[in-house]
């Protein structure tokens, strides 16, 4: 979600240290077999990671003989790599499906340490350098976790409407899962049927359409639509998705640039947590946008301008 041209100083800053141009397939689902991350000082955890599906969006006018180090965009709960594709991007971007979402594999473990390890593994496998991480909600905490644990993999960070704190997840998400389970049980064949079932659980048509974007028709001949996301796994994970794996900013900090964008009508980044953000991310900037939790879709131009300004070189 960057609007910089490849000739600006900001582009060179984002891509400093790059030696070659990225060449990845434009869309990948499960690109490599799963493997275990060996425990060590530069890895997140000694558990199995999953290969992340992604879409690659390259600039229309790439810079010859230069690598454009990518912006990695991570969605929130129930989202996918299909989200936010309409925002004009000029730099190379990778829209990822986090584990248990979109076309990425399902795995019983679903927490921020595991999701960050998946992204770290992806960055290493593809030899990416100086990446910019942009994450919304669940994706924001995933990006923060990775930046704090393995700062060498990250050039800078944009966290959208979430903070590095333990907080109770909104009850809306549990309600959504209840409605989505009802849809799976009903074996609907049309989205209009699914929407009618979901309406008592969520009045907003926009949010219902967002959730129903996870429906698909599994292979096998049946015309019934099912949710692509594993509802049973996400339901079990809800109690912990409000948590943040780091508790003590005296032990770990990310000292590179970080931008926090919050919706002023959202409750996820209250004023009282701002000092803690500054302790974990001492070079952070804060931008307020007059909207709710869904900042990028509600106010896409304000979001884009905030990121552009953040990436521009400072005087």
Residues involved in catalysis? 137, 293
Alpha carbon distances (Å) from 215 to 209, 234, 235, 263, 308: 10, 15, 17, 28, 34
Give the residue among 304, 293, 30, 315 at the shortest CA–CA distance from 139.
293
Tokens 């644990």, residue located = 149
**What is the C-alpha to C-alpha distance for residues 9 and 6, in angstroms, rounded to an integer?**
8
CB neighbours of 26 closer than 8 A, spacing ≥ 6? 55, 56
Q: Where are the beta strands (DSSP E) in the chain?
A: 27-28, 54-57, 71-74, 93-96, 131-136, 154-160, 215-216, 226-227, 258-263, 284-289
CB neighbours of 204 closer than 8 A, spacing ≥ 6? none
**What is the C-alpha to C-alpha distance for residues 274 and 284, in angstroms, rounded to an integer?**
10
**What is the C-alpha to C-alpha distance for residues 116 and 145, in angstroms, rounded to an integer?**
6
Where b means 16+ CB within 10 Å and e means fewer, 144-169 reads bbbbbbbeebbbbbbbbbbbbbebeb
Give the residue among 3, 11, 158, 12 at the shortest CA–CA distance from 90.
3
Run of H or E including 128: none
- Whether 141 and 162 have beta carbons less than 8 Å apart is answered as yes
Q: Which residues pair with 213 in a beta bridge?
A: none
């Amino acid at each position: 979600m960057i609007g910089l041209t490849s000739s600006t100083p900001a582009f060179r800053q984002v891509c400093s240290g790059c030696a070659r141009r990225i060449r990845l397939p434009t869309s990948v689902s499960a690109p490599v077999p799963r493997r275990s991350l060996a425990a060590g000082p530069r890895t997140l955890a000694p558990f199995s990671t999953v290969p992340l599906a992604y879409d690659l969006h390259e600039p229309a006018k790439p810079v010859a003989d230069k690598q454009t180090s990518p912006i990695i965009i991570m969605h929130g709960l129930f989202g996918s790599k299909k989200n936010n594709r309409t925002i004009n991007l000029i730099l190379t971007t990778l829209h990822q499906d986090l584990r248990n979402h979109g076309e990425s594999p399902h795995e019983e473990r679903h927490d921020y340490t595991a999701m960050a390890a998946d992204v770290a593994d992806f960055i290493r496998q593809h030899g990416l350098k100086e990446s910019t991480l942009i994450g919304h909600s669940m994706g924001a905490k995933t990006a923060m976790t990775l930046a704090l644990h393995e700062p060498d993999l990250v050039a800078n960070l944009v966290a959208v409407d979430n903070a590095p704190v333990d907080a109770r997840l909104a009850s809306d998400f549990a309600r959504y899962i209840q409605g989505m389970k009802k849809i799976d049980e009903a074996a609907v064949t049309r989205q209009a049927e699914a929407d009618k079932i979901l309406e008592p659980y969520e009045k907003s048509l926009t949010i219902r359409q967002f959730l129903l974007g996870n429906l698909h028709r599994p292979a096998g001949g049946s015309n019934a639509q099912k949710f692509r996301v594993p509802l049973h796994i996400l339901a079990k994970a809800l109690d912990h998705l409000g948590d943040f794996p780091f508790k003590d900013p005296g032990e770990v900090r990310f000292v590179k640039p970080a931008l926090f964008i919050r919706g002023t009508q959202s409750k996820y980044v209250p004023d009282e947590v701002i000092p803690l953000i500054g302790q974990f991310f001492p070079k952070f900037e804060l931008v307020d946008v007059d909207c709710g939790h869904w900042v990028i879709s509600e106010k896409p131009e304000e979001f884009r301008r905030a990121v552009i300004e953040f990436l521009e070189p400072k005087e």
